[in-house]
């Protein structure tokens, strides 16, 4: 399934990109991530280990950086495989952040989740984007990370 969410934040593009790629600060604004650790960096690649707030599930994510306009990532869990592209475009009022996601539900679970998964995943992605926007537009969050 493919979906896209987008919103405008009232900060310059470089500041939005910098805050978004401060990976270990993600738990400060993400409702899903309890912990994010950078395991290694190789050129423009960053390898993350994450722990979810719901159930404490752990995962690994590969992130490719294209400063200051794009972040691409891939993650695979027991039930899903996902690829995301987050872009940062200059906008009249600040920065338009757009997250495009391709999610594949694996195995027998695919038929169970097919009807409701897209709307729930899209809603969840939009909530994460809104949470990030609140974080970086808050003067303390934006200045602590930049």
pLDDT tens digits, one per residue of 55-83: 777 889 999 999 999 999 998 877 788 99
User: What percent of the chain stands above pLDDT 70?
Assistant: 88
Rounded to whole angstroms, the Cα distance separating 122 from 100 reads 10
pLDDT tens digits, one per residue of 91-120: 999 999 999 999 887 777 666 666 566 678
Full-model pTM: 0.86
Token pair, residue 35, equals 């912990």
- The yes/no answer on whether domain 2-28+68-145 falls in CATH 3.40.50.300 is no
Rounded to whole angstroms, the Cα distance separating 131 from 137 reads 10
Please report the pLDDT score of residue 111 as a whole number: 65
* Phi, psi dihedrals of residue 141, rounded to the nearest 5°: -65, -45
Half-sphere exposure of 102 (CA within 13 A, CB side): 5
- Report whether 55 contacts 74 (CB < 8 A): no
Domain ranges of the chain: 2-28+68-145
């Amino acid at each position: 399934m493919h979906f896209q969410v987008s919103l405008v934040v009232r900060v310059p593009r470089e500041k939005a990109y910098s805050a978004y790629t401060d990976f270990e600060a993600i738990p400060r604004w993400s409702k899903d991530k309890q912990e994010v650790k950078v395991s290694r960096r190789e050129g423009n690649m960053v390898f993350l280990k994450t722990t979810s707030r719901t159930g404490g599930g752990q995962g690994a994510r590969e992130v490719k950086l294209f400063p200051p306009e794009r972040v691409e990532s891939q993650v695979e869990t027991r039930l899903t495989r996902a690829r995301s592209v987050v872009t940062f475009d200059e906008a009249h009022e600040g920065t338009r952040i757009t997250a495009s996601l391709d999610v594949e539900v694996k195995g027998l679970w695919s038929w169970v989740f097919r009807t409701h998964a897209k709307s729930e995943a899209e809603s969840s992605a939009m909530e994460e984007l809104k949470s990030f926007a609140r974080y970086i537009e808050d003067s303390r969050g934006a200045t602590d990370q930049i």
